[in-house]
Amino acid sequence: MKQVTATGQTVDEAVESALTQLNTTKERVEITIIDKGKKGIFGFFGSRPAVVKAEIKIDPIEEAKGFLKNVAEKMGALIDIEVVQEGKQVSFLLSGEKIALLIGKRGQTLNSLQYLTQLVINRFSDQYITVLLDAEDYRTRRNETLVQLAERLAQKALKSGRDVALEPMPSFERKVIHTALANNARVKTYSDGVEPHRYVVISPVK
Amino acid sequence: MKELIETIVKPLVDFPEDVQVNVLEEDHRVTYQLSVNKNDMGKVIGKQGRVANAIRTVVYAAGSSQQKKIFLEISE
């Protein structure tokens, strides 16, 4: 039961009654007053009870965390989730035994889970939230790999004098490549292709 | 596996009670036929199939330990 309508002699009493029915506290519900009620004359002529509607507020972060935990469990991986919120970005840091299953080849599974979690969280959130999923520091390790790759391929582009195209990557990984080579004046980088097959091209400056 | 698909899809749609998964087992392949409410089709497919692809990636990852090849079909 997520929502109840309650009555009482006053608004306060009606709210009180709604909270008891939902078994929760005032901070966790949203209350709409449907009827303020009327005292009436001598307490009974023309008196009307107060009516309020109380609805349990859904915490989008808790909802998303539960979603991740359920999905991981059904995949056969028991995990712990740590949540870090910074403004509009919410990070879920996963740890557990079978974490490799959740990361997948080149982070494919992790990226898919990240996208699905972002959909779930924004179904319940008022402002748009960006979700970041990380498992056992995978993103940090991947970023280091990407920076190394970028530098190596920049060398290759310079040596051969030709453009070098990387494999398709999600936007946040392409950004790592662009940023890594932003200060290198001898090459320029741009993205080509259409999502989800968009890829970075490293091109030597002539 | 059937439960996994339901766990992923139900929180994404407006009519979770209409989510159904049928299993078709053959010799070397298992096909999971996912059906959702007509109004929820867009939600499980997404822009250029982004959501559908994400669901498939997760489901295939979970099924990689099994011998049979797994397919996921989506219908109304």
| 3-state secondary structure string across A7-36 | EECCHHHHHHHHHHHHCCCHHHEEEEEEEC
Domain count, chain B: 1
Q: What is the pLDDT of residue A11?
A: 84
Q: Determine the 3-state secondary structure of A198 from DSSP.
A: coil
Q: Report CB contact under 8 Å: B7, A70.
A: yes
CATH architecture of the domain with residue range A60-136: 2-Layer Sandwich (3.30)
CA distance A174 to A118: 20
ipTM: 0.93
CATH fold of A140-204:
Ribosomal Protein S8; Chain: A, domain 1 (3.30.1370)
Say what the pLDDT of residue A42 is: 63
Instruction: Kindly identify which residue of chain B lies nearest to residue A98, measuring between CA atoms.
Output: B62
Burial class (CB in 10 A: 0-12, 13-18, 19+), A150: buried
- Cross-sheet strand order for the sheet of A164-165: A164-165, A199-204, A187-192
Residue matched to tokens 């009870």 = A49
Return the CATH number at B68: 3.30.300.20
CATH fold of A3-56: Defensin A-like (3.30.30)
Structural domain containing residue B65: 1-74
At residue B31, the pLDDT reads: 93
A:174-193 residues touching chain B, CB 8 A cutoff: none
pLDDT tens-digit map of B5-53:
999 999 999 999 999 999 998 888 899 999 999 999 999 999 888 899 9
pLDDT of A91 reads 94
| Distance separating alpha carbons of residues A14 and A53, to the nearest angstrom | 9
From A67, A71, A196, residue closest to B4, measured CB to CB: A71
**Interface contact A74-B3, CB threshold 8 A:** yes
The domain spans of chain A are 3-56, 60-136, 140-204
**pLDDT tens for the 206 residues of chain A, in order:** 478 888 888 888 888 888 888 877 777 788 888 888 777 666 566 778 888 888 877 888 888 999 999 999 988 888 999 999 998 999 999 998 888 889 998 899 999 999 999 999 998 888 899 999 999 899 999 999 999 999 999 999 999 999 999 999 989 899 999 999 998 889 999 999 988 789 999 999 87
Q: Looking at beta carbons, which residues of chain B come within 8 Å of A108?
A: 57, 61
pLDDT at A43: 58
3-state DSSP helix/strand/coil % of chain B, to nearest 5: 50, 25, 20
**Beta-bridge partners for A85:** A90
Nearest CA to B7 among B53, B48, B62?
A: B62
**Any residues with CB less than 8 A from the CB of A190 and at least 6 apart, and which?**
A200, A201, A203
Instruction: Report pLDDT for A57.
Output: 78
pLDDT at B52: 93
Q: Is A61 on the interface with B (CB under 8 A)?
A: no
Task: Provide the pLDDT for residue A176.
Answer: 94
The strand pairing partners of A55, in sequence order, are A3, A30
Chain B contact probe: residue of A116, A120, A122, A133 with most B CBs at under 10 A: A116
Which chain A residues touch B4 with a CB distance below 8 Å? Answer: 71, 74-75
